[in-house]
Amino acid sequence: MLHSALINVMVKAARRAGRSLKRDLGEIENLQVSLKGPANFVSLADKRAEQMLYEDLSKARPGYGFIGEEGGTREGSDKSHTWIVDPLDGTTNFLHGIPQFAISIGLRREDTMIAGLVYNPANDELYIAERGKGAFLNDQRLRVAGRRTLDDCVVACGLPHIGRGDHDLFRRELTEMQKRLAGLRRFGAASLDLAFVAAGRLDGYWERNLSSWDIAAGAIIVREAGGIVSCVDGKSDPLDTGNVVCGNEYVHAELVKILRPL
C-alpha cells in the first residue's frame, strides 16, 4: 500500500527505534538484565529509542518542534508543526517482559493532529492515520466496532496504583461501569488501548491523568476509524486535560454520561 511521504518518514523512524526496543526486550526476557538495575535498564532503552526518533524525524522534517516524554520540549524554527512522541508507552509491561507496549508518534499542525502512528515492535502491529485519509493496521483499513448498548461492550481503562491516580474516584467509576458492561480490560499501554478501539477490538476506553504523548497519536487513529475521542466531560480536548474517553458515537456518549458526574 502506498502511503504519503509524511507517513513513510514516521514508519521508517518507528521501525528503527522498534528494532532497538525489540533487542532490549530480548535481554529482559533472557534475564540478562542485572536484577539490581532493571528500572535503569528500561530507562536507558526508553531514552535510546527517543534519541533515535528525534534524530530521524528532525532529519526528515527539520525545524519541527519535538515534545518527547524523556527529553521534554525542544522548540523548532517551524512553529506550526510539533512532533508529540512517547518512545516507549507501556514501560511497566516492557520491564516485566509483557509484549504490550508501543512507540507513539503524533504530528500536530497548529492545534490539530494531522498524523498518528502507534507501533508495537513485539508483534509488529503498525497502526497509522493521516487526517482525512483513514486509519490502518498493517495496511488493513480500520473501523471502530458497531455495538450500541453497553451491555454488549468490552471497555478498557487505566488502573490507579501505588503513587498513581485517584483511587477513590476510580473505585466509583468501576462500580458504575461494572453494572453496565460485558467486560472490562486493563492492558497497560494507553496508545495501544486507543489503537484497539480504532481496530474494533475494544468498544471503548477511558483513563485519567495521562500525558499528551500517551494520547496524541492514538486519538487521530480512533477519529480516522470513525470513533469519537474527548475529555471525560464529553467536549474538551483530552490532550489539554489528560482525561480521555473514546468509542463509537453511541458508546462514547454512554461512557461520558457515566463519567462526567463522578
Non-local (6+) Cβ contacts of 130 within 8 A are: 3, 4, 6, 7, 114, 115, 224
Q: Hey, what's the torsion of the CAs at 38, 91, 18, 223, to 10 degrees? A: 180
CB 244 within 8 A of CB 232: yes
- Neighbouring-strand partners of residue 217: none
- Binding partner of residue 204 among Ca ion, ligand IPD, none, CB cut-off 5 to 8 Å per kind: none
In this structure, what C-alpha cell is assigned to residue 186?
486493563
When the beta carbons of 125 and 250 are compared against ligand IPD, the nearer one is 125
Provide the grid cell at 136: 490502518
Does position 70 bind ligand IPD by CB under 6 A?
A: no
Taking CB under 5 A as the criterion, the residue among 86, 207, 224, 254 binding Ca ion is 86
Among 86, 130, 203, 224, binds ligand IPD (CB under 6 A): 86
Interface with Ca ion (CB under 5 A), residue total 5
Residue 173 near Ca ion by CB under 5 A: no
Q: Which does 210 bind (CB under 5 to 8 A by kind): ligand IPD, Ca ion, none?
A: ligand IPD
Is residue 193 part of the contact set for Ca ion (CB under 5 A)? no
Question: Angle at Cα 164 formed by Cα 122 and Cα 119, nearest 5°?
Answer: 20
Q: Identify which of 183, 174, 197 has the alpha carbon closest to the alpha carbon of residue 154.
A: 183
For ligand IPD, the closer of residues 210 and 251 by Cβ is 210
Closest distance of CB 62 from Ca ion, Å: 25
One of 214, 225, 228, 232 touching Ca ion (CB under 5 A): 214
Query: For binding to Ca ion (CB under 5 A), which residues are involved?
Result: 69, 86, 88-89, 214
